[in-house]
Amino acid sequence: GENVEQHPSTLSVQEGDSAVIKCTYSDSASNYFPWYKQELGKGPQLIIDIRSNVGEKKDQRIAVTLNKTAKHFSLHITETQPEDSAVYFCAAFMFSGGYNKLIFGAGTRLAVHP
Amino acid sequence: DGGITQSPKYLFRKEGQNVTLSCEQNLNHDAMYWYRQDPGQGLRLIYYSQIVNDFQKGDIAEGYSVSREKKESFPLTVTSAQKNPTAFYLCASSMGPAGLVGGYLSSYNEQFFGPGTRLTVL
Tens of pLDDT along B32-80? 999 999 987 889 999 999 889 999 999 899 999 999 999 999 999 999 8
Radius of gyration of chain B (CA): 14
Q: Which pLDDT band holds residue B122 (cuts at 50, 70, 90)?
A: confident
SS3 of chain B: helix, strand, coil, percent, to 5 = 0, 50, 50
Residues 10-49 of chain B whose Cβ lies under 8 A from any Cβ of chain A: 40-45, 48
Quick check: helix, strand or coil at residue A21? strand
Q: Pick the residue from chain A with its C-alpha nearest to B90.
A: A43
pLDDT at A77: 98
Peptide bond into A8 cis (omega under 30): yes
Mutate to test the interface with B, among A68, A101, A108, A109 (most CBs of B within 10 A): A101
Radius of gyration of chain A (CA): 14
pLDDT at A52: 80
| Residue A51: partners with Cβ closer than 8 Å, 6 or more residues away | A31, A32, A33, B105
Task: Tell me if chain B has a CB within 8 Å of the CB of A99.
Answer: yes
When CB atoms are compared, the residue of A45, A93, A104 closest to B43 is A104
